[in-house]
Amino acid sequence: MNRKVIIFFDKLFDRIVILASLLFFLICIYAMYDAVMIYYNANDTSVLKYKPDLTNPEVLQEISTDAIAWITVDGTRIDYPVMQGKDNREYLNKNPFGKYSLSGSIFLDSRNQGDFSDGYSLLHGHHMEYGAMFGALDEFKDKEYFDSHRTGQLITVGGKVYDIRFFAAAMVKATDSLVFSPAKAEPAALIEMLSRSAMIYEPPETQGELKLIALSTCQDAATIDRMVLFGVMEEVLL
């Protein structure tokens, strides 16, 4: 083979290797950037300035008209606005301000009433690392942790305040129609099921109408397993 041809192909090969290496480097940089942005969005605390108090629940509407409540689980990083979209896909990858975010938002199931008047309300949130979003739910698999983190609070945009007392932690398939059909589920049927199958269960106590709330998160992309924390909501009469 002609020497010039050999030199040409050697240089061409070198350029291809350089370009491939550069492309690989850029992909790595983008992956690192993407991971940082996911972590940043999941841990963004700027939204806390919109956390309502008993005198100003309407501050939620400064986030978005889709912001319907604020959920807090005492002693955890769960302290977020609750959104509700037109369907259950809308806030999977959208933050409370309407911008694209892989960490998404905490949101109420679209089949529930936005004023939490249902007997059973279901919240969804991504399973993020370091306890962000609903990643903290994994800790509730431990009985000791569960026993020391059983309280929370929900404040609606309409000014209603609910104390939450968690009574069960369960691993549930996403196909479970009882847990994941909130508009149809009867609180009594849920409690009966949980008394038999939950990994942790304490008989719930309530002074009035039985009103349940559940916090659900996935385990990993390869399964349909969901970690779900169940609580009783008691309205605080102000």
> Going from the N-terminus, what domains does the chain have, and what CATH number goes with each?
46-235 (2.40.260.10)
- Write out pLDDT tens, residues 167-208: 999 999 999 999 999 988 899 999 999 999 999 999 998 766
Cα angle value 162/164/169 (rounded, 5°): 150
Distance CA 162, CA 15 (A): 65
Residue 94 has what DSSP assignment? Answer: B
pLDDT grade, residue 36 (50/70/90)?
very low
pLDDT of 149 over the 90 cut: yes
DSSP string, 37-85: HHHHHHT--GGGGG---TT-GGGGGGT-TTEEEEEEETTSS-EEEEE--
Given the structure tokens 């990083």, which residue do they identify?
77
Contact (Cβ atoms closer than 8 angstroms) between residue 50 and residue 39: no
pLDDT grade, residue 223 (50/70/90)?
confident
- pLDDT for the residue numbered 6: 62
Average pLDDT of the residues of the chain: 85
Distance CA 6, CA 63 (A): 64
pTM over 0.85: no
- pLDDT for the residue numbered 130: 79
Pull the structure tokens for residue 103.
Answer: 């960490």
Segment 127-151 shows an average pLDDT of 92
Segment 109-138 shows an average pLDDT of 93
Contact (Cβ atoms closer than 8 angstroms) between residue 48 and residue 35: no
